[in-house]
Amino acid sequence: MANTSSGVKQIIMLTLGWEELPKAWSIHGIDQSERLVEPVPALLVETIDGWVLLDTGFNKALIEDGALFDRFHSKFHQILPILPAYGTDPLLDALDRHGLSVDRLLAVAVSHLHNDHAGGLRHFGGSDTPVYIQSKELEFGLGDIAKAQGHGLARVDYDDPRLNFKKISGDVEIAPGIRAISTPGHTPGHQSFMVDFPQANGANGFIFAFDAGDLKENFESELAIGGFIDVEASDTLDQIRKLKSLAREKQMVIVPGHDPTIWPTIEEGLSRILK
């Protein structure tokens, strides 16, 4: 999808794997036996200053090594990680498919430090590439290791002094046309992203919720998400409503973080347009 009238020139949606899990992780309170395969999302956004990567997918090593799998994934909250059947590394392969590499990015940002979003940060250790994260998220991730690991964070993904973290607080522009929107609850420093991208149909861009709301129904029916830390389930509705109100105010479209009916559809649409 190309654009010339804002700081953002192009948006590419990436699917860096999948996870098979109880839908109750996405919709609070429903029957645990209903399972769903959800995409692992990431985005490449080309701005007038360069390419920005939003989220980084799984750390493949934690899935392929038996002992690490046991520690971080095996029966872990009944979430089964699935890697693409092809290629060598989901993130590196995706960058390569679009003619990019880790040393060609202007910046990286992570919505939060869960292992399906922060697992690719290891590729940026030792590079100058800034990695934008909410201060509270890093503080939580580097705090009580048992608590963080118990909530699905793998400290090895982000506890690297060679990473050039840029800690931010609240709603902050991180690159031309890309604004981080603080949406804590799912994790203590979760952030979503607002991307300016004026459309012919009058919409001004997209709000990528990431895990502030996994599925379309979280937003359409205002249903609380099932995964949250240090808050009540109903508190997660505050962030869903914040994003809905921003979307109304800015005339933007909300894209949920893990919706299997939306994410691949958009990806296919974008690749058609890019061809």
CB of residue 6 to Zn ion, shortest distance in Å: 28
The closest of 273, 272, 268 to 14, measured between CA atoms, is 268
Label each residue of the chain as H, E or C. Answer: CECCCCCEEEEEEEEEEEEEEEHHHCCCCCCCCCEEEEEEEEEEEEECCEEEEECCCCCHHHHHCHHHHHHHCCCHHHCEEECCCCCCCHHHHHHHHCCCCHHHEEEEECCCCECCCCCCHHHHCCCCCEEEEEHHHHHHHCCCHHHHHHCCECHHHCCCCCCEEEEECCCEEEECCEEEEECCCCCCCCEEEEEECCCCCCCCEEEEEECCCCCHHHHHCCCCCCCCCCCCHHHHHHHHHHHHHHHHHHCCEEEECCCCCCHHHHHHHHHHHHC
CB of residue 248 to Zn ion, shortest distance in Å: 25
Q: Which is nearer to Zn ion, 1 or 148 (CB)?
A: 148
Q: Using CB positions, name the residue nearest to Zn ion.
A: 114
Q: Which is nearer to Zn ion, 9 or 117 (CB)?
A: 117
Distance between CA atoms of residues 143 and 66, nearest Å = 26
Restricted to residues 113-132, the positions that interact with Zn ion (CB under 5 A) are 114
Q: Which is nearer to Zn ion, 73 or 114 (CB)?
A: 114
Q: Which is nearer to Zn ion, 3 or 111 (CB)?
A: 111
CB of residue 100 to Zn ion, shortest distance in Å: 25
Q: Which is nearer to Zn ion, 60 or 186 (CB)?
A: 186
Q: Which residues contact 231 (CB under 8 A, 6 or more apart)?
A: 184, 185
Stretch that binds Zn ion, among 34-42, 119-127, 207-215, 265-273 (CB under 5 A): 207-215
Phi and psi of 9, rounded to 5°? -95, -30
Stretch that binds Zn ion, among 95-103, 112-120, 131-139, 241-249 (CB under 5 A): 112-120
Distance between CA atoms of residues 62 and 86, nearest Å = 17
Q: Which is nearer to Zn ion, 25 or 197 (CB)?
A: 25
Total residues in contact with Zn ion, by rule CB under 5 A: 2
Binding mask 208-247 for Zn ion (x = CB under 5 A): ---x------------------------------------
CB of residue 186 to Zn ion, shortest distance in Å: 6
Q: Is 28 in the site for Zn ion (CB under 5 A)?
A: no
Q: Which is nearer to Zn ion, 177 or 213 (CB)?
A: 213
Stretch that binds Zn ion, among 17-25, 40-48, 88-96, 110-118 (CB under 5 A): 110-118
Stretch that binds Zn ion, among 35-43, 48-56, 98-106, 203-211 (CB under 5 A): 203-211
Q: Which residues bind Zn ion (CB under 5 A)?
A: 114, 211
